[in-house]
Amino acid sequence: MSQDLDTLAALAATKLTRTEFAVVRAYAQGMRPVDIANRYLLDPDDEDVLTEHQAVQRILALRDRLVQFALQHDRPDIAAMFEALRGRSDAGMTRRVDALSSIERLGQGRPLPGHQVSLWFGPSLARRLTTGGVRTIADLTALANRRGSSWWRGVPRIGQQSAEVITRWLRSQQAEIAAAVQPHVLSPSQHRERAALVPARMGTAMAYPVPLEHMLEPSGRDGWSVDLGEDMRWIRDWVGRRATSPHTSKGYRREAERLLLWVSRERALVRALTAEDLRRYRAFLANPQPAAFWCGPAGSRGRAHWRPFEGPLGASSIEAALRVVRALLRAMALSGLRRTGPDEREDAGIVADSADSEAGTATPGQRGALPQESVPAFFTWLMSAEPSPRHRAALAAALLLHRHGLRISELPALRLGDVSAGESPARLALMARQAPEGERIVPDGDVWAALVAHWRDRGLTPEAGWNARAALLAPCEFPATARGRAKQALGDAGYAPSGLDQLLRGTWKRFAAAHGLAHIAFTPGLLRGPILPGPYLLLRSNCSTKQ
């Protein structure tokens, strides 16, 4: 983008020079534009002369800056006077010249948060900012503080060059603008030169947060410092064991470092977290305070101004974070580092959403937010409701989750090649992360029957043989989209994790609507666990007869 006058913010934000004031004064007094341009605006080294059109354009550009300058000083009367630059009478001309002299004596304007961006930036740049929702200086500083150095990427047609000028101008106005930009807001050139993050010791006096790999153990020799250092070493090793799964490792690392930073500021220990501590941690995730310490834009983990949060977490993100915390505390308890009391088992301390608690749908001892009787009722309904291929696929997936503790993210990886039929009756053997090393999960007869019913819907039977690469669970009909047709053409594609999630959520919604449970916060993960006694144990005989 060319560096014209209405793109560079600095030119629009400064007072006119004495020569530029002389140009506007001469034009207001009736001097010909060509004569003005050749006398005041022509570069002495330039052999070309300006045409009348070029001269008028340059003079009107100076007029626009003069109007801006008047508005910056809260003089709308003078700004309105110069909208029509030439007076129609001697009296009008005299008033303009006097006004010009008065405004020439004023100093540089002071930007205020309520000022329109058009007062401080050129017309083209101001239009682009306004189109992007940035109308005032306060809007601009708020956007920069919220998005950080990449704020300009959210404003259409603002590139690095304009961002460089605007950010530097905001920095230069720090003493004038009440709502100043934060230290982490850097111009594109400064962002590339950001200083490396300095590791910090954990404790209540931390000046800034640091990621897991930059955390230093407390220097004290008291019991809390020693125990926190041991917690840190154990958590680093726990996160490191998931390095083979980059996505999982990244999520576990993020939640582990957030928890470690929080317990350090609270002078607590991960191994000693109680139910009340975890309630306070849930509230903290919803509103990390002080925001200046905890929150900032996404950035490199090894550079200054890194922050563990971009802002408060939403309800679903909080639940995801607490699931990782549950896994961490369970692993810590199994290792013997964390001790739990008789009323503080797997999910103790992770309370349900307040809305669910107030509705009476959960208690602290339950898994998630489901009433104890709803899971057996769900499977009873799955067995007795009107069958369909989609319904039977949901039944097979739900039983694998609930009966054998598989994760919804594991199911898409399972293939028909993982199936091994037993002698009599037939059984299914699956490798899964949940199984101890070297062992296999062998589904019960009703789970096998549900799978066989699902395979028959797809035209597959164990007796006739099948494509070993085909997915264990797959839709009978793919959507009529380009992606759906491409997956169907492969012949061995199945449900993705998101597809299984939608399948089970949709099935639960139909069940909940039929039983008045529309307000329960259901996720497929809540089905995982030991199967409960109930009437749905009759599934074996029912599923085996479905075609």
**CATH code, domain carrying 432:** 1.10.443.10
Structural domain contains residue 391: yes
Contact yes or no for 330/254 (Cβ under 8 A): no
What confidence score (pLDDT) does residue 367 get?
A: 39
State whether 218 and 273 are in the same domain. Answer: yes
Confidence of residue 531 (pLDDT cuts 50, 70, 90): very low
Q: What is the pLDDT of residues 125-156, one digit of tens each?
A: 888 898 889 988 889 888 888 877 778 888 88
State whether 146 and 271 are in the same domain. Answer: no
State whether 288 and 419 are in the same domain. Answer: no
State whether 389 and 314 are in the same domain. Answer: no
Average pLDDT over residues 366-395: 75
Structural domain contains residue 267: yes
Displacement of CA 328 from its chain's centroid (Å): 23
Burial class (CB in 10 A: 0-12, 13-18, 19+), 249: middle
What confidence score (pLDDT) does residue 224 get?
A: 92
In which element (H, E) is residue 216 found? strand 215-216
Structural domain contains residue 463: yes
Contact yes or no for 415/470 (Cβ under 8 A): yes
Average pLDDT over residues 245-267: 91
Nearest partner of 238 among 349, 337, 351, judged by Cα: 337
Structural domain contains residue 362: no
State whether 184 and 206 are in the same domain. Answer: no
Q: d(Cα 313, Cα 353) in Å, to the nearest integer?
A: 14
State whether 188 and 206 are in the same domain. Answer: no
Least confident residue range of 106-110, 244-248, 355-359, 436-440: 355-359
Contact yes or no for 388/375 (Cβ under 8 A): no
Structural domain contains residue 172: yes
Q: What is the pLDDT of residues 100-130, one digit of tens each?
A: 666 666 655 667 778 878 777 777 788 889 8
What confidence score (pLDDT) does residue 80 get?
A: 73
What confidence score (pLDDT) does residue 318 get?
A: 92
Report which DSSP code applies to 295. B
Residue 535 confidence (pLDDT) above 50: no
What confidence score (pLDDT) does residue 463 get?
A: 64
Q: How far from each other are the two terminal CA atoms of the chain, in whole angstroms?
A: 66
Structural domain contains residue 355: no
Last residue of a domain, one of 104, 126, 153: 104
What confidence score (pLDDT) does residue 351 get?
A: 41
Contact yes or no for 71/59 (Cβ under 8 A): no
Residue 45 confidence (pLDDT) above 70: no
Contact yes or no for 476/458 (Cβ under 8 A): yes
Residue 423 confidence (pLDDT) above 50: no
Confidence of residue 263 (pLDDT cuts 50, 70, 90): very high
Least confident residue range of 63-67, 84-88, 288-292: 84-88
State whether 405 and 289 are in the same domain. Answer: no
Nearest partner of 390 among 470, 488, 505, judged by Cα: 505
Which residue has better confidence, 463 or 457?
457
Report which DSSP code applies to 491. S
Last residue of a domain, one of 286, 308, 335: 335
Percent pLDDT > 70 in the chain is 74
Confidence of residue 36 (pLDDT cuts 50, 70, 90): confident
What confidence score (pLDDT) does residue 5 get?
A: 38
Least confident residue range of 6-15, 174-183, 395-404: 6-15
Confidence of residue 214 (pLDDT cuts 50, 70, 90): very high
φ/ψ (deg, to 5) at 544: -70, -15
Report which DSSP code applies to 150. G
The parent domain of residue 163 ranges over 117-192
Q: Is the pTM of this model over 0.75?
A: no
Domain total for the chain? Answer: 4
Average pLDDT over residues 536-543: 34
Residue 439 confidence (pLDDT) above 70: no
**Most confident of the following: 170-179, 440-449, 461-470:** 440-449
State whether 162 and 215 are in the same domain. Answer: no
State whether 188 and 294 are in the same domain. Answer: no
| Non-local CB neighbours of 539 within 8 Å, separated by 6+ positions | 379, 383, 395, 399, 446, 449, 450
State whether 187 and 226 are in the same domain. Answer: no
**SS3 assignment for 151-206:** HHHHCCCCCHHHHHHHHHHHHHCCCCCCCCCCCCCCCHHHHHCCCECCCEECCCCC
What confidence score (pLDDT) does residue 182 get?
A: 78
Which residue has better confidence, 15 or 221?
221
Average pLDDT over residues 354-378: 50
Structural domain contains residue 350: no
Tokens of 314: 């939403």
State whether 149 and 211 are in the same domain. Answer: no
Across the chain, what does the average pLDDT equal?
Answer: 75
State whether 535 and 457 are in the same domain. Answer: yes
Nearest partner of 506 among 418, 385, 404, judged by Cα: 385
Contact yes or no for 42/59 (Cβ under 8 A): no
**Angstrom distances, CA of residue 297 to CA of 139, 150, 174, 356:** 17, 8, 20, 32
Confidence of residue 429 (pLDDT cuts 50, 70, 90): low
Amino acid (1-letter code) at residue 184: H
Q: What is the pLDDT of residues 325-356, one digit of tens each?
A: 988 998 898 888 887 643 444 444 444 333 33
Confidence of residue 48 (pLDDT cuts 50, 70, 90): low
Last residue of a domain, one of 104, 131, 153: 104
Residue 287, helix vs strand vs coil = coil
Number of residues that make up the chain = 547
φ/ψ (deg, to 5) at 482: -60, -40
Average pLDDT over residues 205-215: 92
Q: What is the pLDDT of residues 463-516, one digit of tens each?
A: 666 677 888 888 888 777 777 777 777 777 888 888 888 889 888 888 888 877
Percent pLDDT > 90 in the chain is 14
Structural domain contains residue 342: no
Q: How many CB atoms lie within 10 A of CB 174?
A: 9
**Angstrom distances, CA of residue 518 to CA of 372, 505, 509, 510:** 16, 12, 7, 9
Confidence of residue 365 (pLDDT cuts 50, 70, 90): very low
Contacts of 141-146 spanning 24+ positions with Cβ under 8 A:
141/113, 141/170, 141/177, 141/179, 141/180, 141/181, 142/179, 144/170, 144/181, 144/182, 144/185, 145/181, 145/182, 145/185, 146/297, 146/311
**Most confident of the following: 180-184, 308-312, 481-485, 539-543:** 308-312
Residue 282 confidence (pLDDT) above 90: yes
Q: How many CB atoms lie within 10 A of CB 448?
A: 24
Confidence of residue 8 (pLDDT cuts 50, 70, 90): very low
